[in-house]
Amino acid sequence: MKMILDIIYWLFMIFQIILAIYFLMPSFLLVSKWIISLSGNFFKKKYKTLDAKNYDFAAIVTAHQDIRFIPPLVDSLLKQSYGNLVVYVVADDCDITTLHFNDDRVVVLRPEPAFHAKIKSIKYAIDNFKRKHDALVIFDTDNLAHPNYFNELNEHFRKGFRVIQTHMLSKNTETVFAKLDSVGFIYHNFTERQIRMDMGLSACTLGLGIAIDMDLYKQIVYRDGLGGFDKKLQADLVRATHQVAFAENAIVYDEKVDDAGTLEKQRTRWLFAYFRYFSEHWNLFTLGLRKFNFNLIFFGFNALRPPLFILTFVGMVCVIIDFFINMTLSWTALAILVSFALSFVLIVVTQARQKGMLQAFVYMPVFILRQMRALLKIKAASKSFLKTEHNRVIYIDELLANESA
């Protein structure tokens, strides 16, 4: 019996060590950012321009049952300072009778029968390309692209990158939930993209604003059309290229959730994707170990981390259990949790580009509660694609004018 208890104890200690690494990671990354800044951004300096080519881009816009946001997004793409691109709008299950563009760079496609799947819409656009493109860029309809977006992308492709995640900023920050959604993204953007680019490591990708070499994208094979396609895409791209880049100044604006119901639906889909593709990230981690590849090890290990609200809840439970095992251990675990909370706040405060983010922390418990409710509904995402509803129709000129005001 004593042997069994000893095994359980040491397994619990190992589990807590892994948790501690996750909790201490943001503090380590903040320190790394400071050291890299003092060194003059060593890794960024090594990204040399390799050619002077103007890459040919295909901007793919995937719409589903709603065309309201297509004109503003297309308007922002046609106002790019970079001109070597074609916009492909896939209007899945949409009425396109009022959708007209007087520009031959815009191709509107309406698949029959309807797909009801983003993956299939992307493939349909590729199958109907007007010409051979060097790379594709995926957009959601509620996005807007900064006028210099494709110039920045072209510069990164000239440096030899074949996969580039661009910088997503919030299109709306008026409501509490929009601010809370933005706060989470600011934190993840720093820890998963910005600092990794500074360190010469692969950045995490999103399901939007990602530019991919065409030959690379054609290697991806999906299981089905349910949510989480970006997780599968991410895992395959990290394996296939030496580094997934992050283009900090290539800005794409995205609408944040405005209410609790939309938040729950979105987080349910994200949680489903995390568990569904857990094995993909485990395989990345073990592949890195086999190849002694730190980039894959670091990426896989961090991708395996549970969502923050789950991680925090488990950490608090461990503090309570440790109280009955060893008081010193319990206080140590609590100190680690506090350091995580402080580093989270510090990252948001120092990295936010938009106003009002700090005030949102007051409502963080509500945000966590809604994510817990989303976890209870996770089975729904296995049966259908939970579409996130958006409402803010705004053009790029108005958005940039508001930012500068």
Looking at residue 339, its pLDDT comes to 96
Domain parsing of the chain, residue ranges: 53-285+383-404
Per-residue pLDDT of the chain (405 residues), as tens digits, is 778 887 888 898 999 999 999 999 999 999 999 888 877 666 666 788 889 899 999 999 999 888 999 999 999 999 999 999 999 999 999 988 889 899 999 999 999 998 888 888 999 999 999 999 999 999 999 999 999 999 999 999 999 999 999 999 988 777 777 788 888 889 999 999 999 999 999 999 988 899 999 999 988 766 544 445 677 788 889 998 999 999 999 999 988 777 667 777 777 777 787 888 888 899 999 999 999 999 999 999 999 999 998 899 999 999 999 999 999 999 999 999 999 999 999 999 888 876 767 777 777 777 777 777 777 766 665 554 445 555 678 899 998 887 765
How is residue 376 written in tokens? 């209870």
Looking at residue 164, its pLDDT comes to 97
Burial tier of 151 (Cβ tally within 10 Å: 0-12, 13-18, 19+): middle
- Please give the CATH architecture assigned to the domain spanning 53-285+383-404: Alpha-Beta Complex (3.90)
Looking at residue 245, its pLDDT comes to 96
Put simply, whether the predicted model's pTM sits higher than 0.75 gets the answer yes
How is residue 209 written in tokens? 């604003």
Return the sign of the alpha-carbon dihedral for residues 76, 57, 209, 168: negative
Looking at residue 405, its pLDDT comes to 55
Looking at residue 382, its pLDDT comes to 52
Burial tier of 96 (Cβ tally within 10 Å: 0-12, 13-18, 19+): middle
Q: Cis omega (within 30 of 0) on the bond before 113?
A: yes
